[in-house]
């Protein structure tokens, strides 16, 4: 087909998680519950770590930003997804799709590096406790968070520009529940070598760097815990680290599955299931994994509930 015969796509249509009519309302209720719990949990963490003086440490500073990222990631995707379950028109405009992809990439890349910063913070706290306040100072925390958001913006702008630089013509039905780069490129009627290379390169670099930090940090943490003489101390430390490592493993595992395989090996239906985990389920679970099992956060929540007006004035 000659380039001048292409019909420019003005909107895209989502197939959703499932196109079976009898599942639309049950899925709407399930994802509404997930998004509601995500918003409640992460807003709670943001509020507590902002108003409680005992949570003004580097660990909770990173946790607050992780909660902001998780809430942002879910909000980019879930509201539009929920509306589509109740509407016969499951479309999104061309530029709306570009904005959604860009927003998703900002938050998913930010989460990757925020998890790395949190792993590094725990490594210093456990392996070098005497130097903790020097190594993880306020300036270092601000620098790590700033670099995290900067890299996420660079990745989002570059990849989104590449994905929407190709032509979309005959088909505009996305086999997904949000605008993601892999299902979008599957619709393109022009050469996708450059955007595919950009997706693979940025995904590989971001995942390799962040996973290296996480693996090295947690490996040293485990070695330090093994050296603890008290069996009770080892048990508590392993219990805390195990929940963190489970969350990190599920998150990185689904991302590796999605992005670091050739396009020819992709099954978009399988990718959708993996996407549900890191866009909706993990942001819901992170407040529980990282904080609601934490004694300091439980006590902060109790203080907040005892005098919410005074706490909110501190915001």
The whole-angstrom separation of Cα 191 and Cα 194 is 8
Instruction: Report pLDDT digits (tens) over 83-110.
Output: 999 888 889 999 999 999 999 999 999 9
Instruction: Encode 75-134 in three state secondary structure.
Output: HHHHHHHHHHHHCCCCEEEHHHHHHHHHHHHHHHHHHHHHHHHHHHHHHHHHHCHHHHHH
The mean per-residue pLDDT over the stretch 262-288 comes to: 77
Instruction: Report pLDDT digits (tens) over 9-29.
Output: 788 999 888 878 888 899 999
Q: In the prediction, which pLDDT does 1 show?
A: 40
Check: CB of residue 117 under 8 Å from CB of residue 32. no
Q: Judge whether residue 291 has pLDDT over 90.
A: no
Query: How many degrees, rounded to 5, is the angle at CA 94 between CA 92 and CA 95?
Result: 100
Q: Domains (ranges, CATH) in the chain?
A: 10-313 (1.20.1070.10)
Portion of the chain with pLDDT greater than 90, in percent: 39
The whole-angstrom separation of Cα 291 and Cα 63 is 8
Portion of the chain with pLDDT greater than 70, in percent: 87
The mean per-residue pLDDT over the stretch 206-214 comes to: 91
Instruction: Report pLDDT digits (tens) over 224-238.
Output: 888 877 777 677 667
């Amino acid at each position: 087909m000659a380039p001048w015969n292409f019909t420019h796509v003005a909107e895209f249509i989502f197939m959703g998680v499932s196109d079976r009519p009898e599942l639309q309302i049950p899925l709407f209720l399930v994802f509404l519950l997930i998004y509601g719990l995500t918003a409640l949990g992460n807003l709670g963490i943001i509020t507590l770590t902002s108003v409680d003086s005992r949570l003004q440490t580097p660990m909770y500073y990173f946790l607050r930003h992780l909660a902001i990222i998780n809430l942002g990631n879910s909000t980019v995707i879930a509201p539009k997804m929920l509306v589509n379950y109740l509407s016969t028109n499951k479309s999104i405009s061309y530029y709306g799709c570009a904005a959604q992809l860009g927003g998703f990439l900002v938050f998913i890349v930010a989460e990757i590096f925020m998890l790395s910063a949190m792993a590094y913070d725990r490594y210093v706290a456990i392996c070098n406790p005497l130097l903790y306040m020097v190594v993880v100072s306020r300036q270092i925390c601000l620098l790590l968070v700033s670099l995290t958001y900067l890299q996420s913006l660079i990745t989002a702008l570059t990849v989104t520009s590449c994905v929407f630089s190709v032509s979309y013509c005959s088909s505009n039905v996305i086999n997904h529940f949000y605008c993601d780069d892999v299902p979008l490129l599957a619709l393109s009627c022009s050469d996708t070598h450059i955007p595919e290379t950009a997706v693979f390169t940025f995904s590989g670099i971001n995942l390799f760097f962040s996973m290296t930090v996480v693996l090295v940090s947690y490996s040293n943490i485990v070695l330090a815990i093994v050296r603890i003489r008290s069996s009770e101390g080892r048990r508590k430390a392993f219990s805390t680290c195990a929940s963190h490592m489970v969350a990190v493993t599920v998150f990185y595992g689904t991302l590796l599955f999605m992005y670091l395989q050739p396009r020819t090996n992709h099954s978009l239906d399988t990718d959708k299931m993996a996407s549900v985990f890191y866009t909706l389920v993990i942001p819901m679970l992170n407040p529980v994994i990282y904080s609601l099992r934490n004694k300091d956060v439980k006590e902060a929540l109790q203080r907040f509930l005892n005098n919410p007006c005074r706490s909110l004035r501190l915001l």
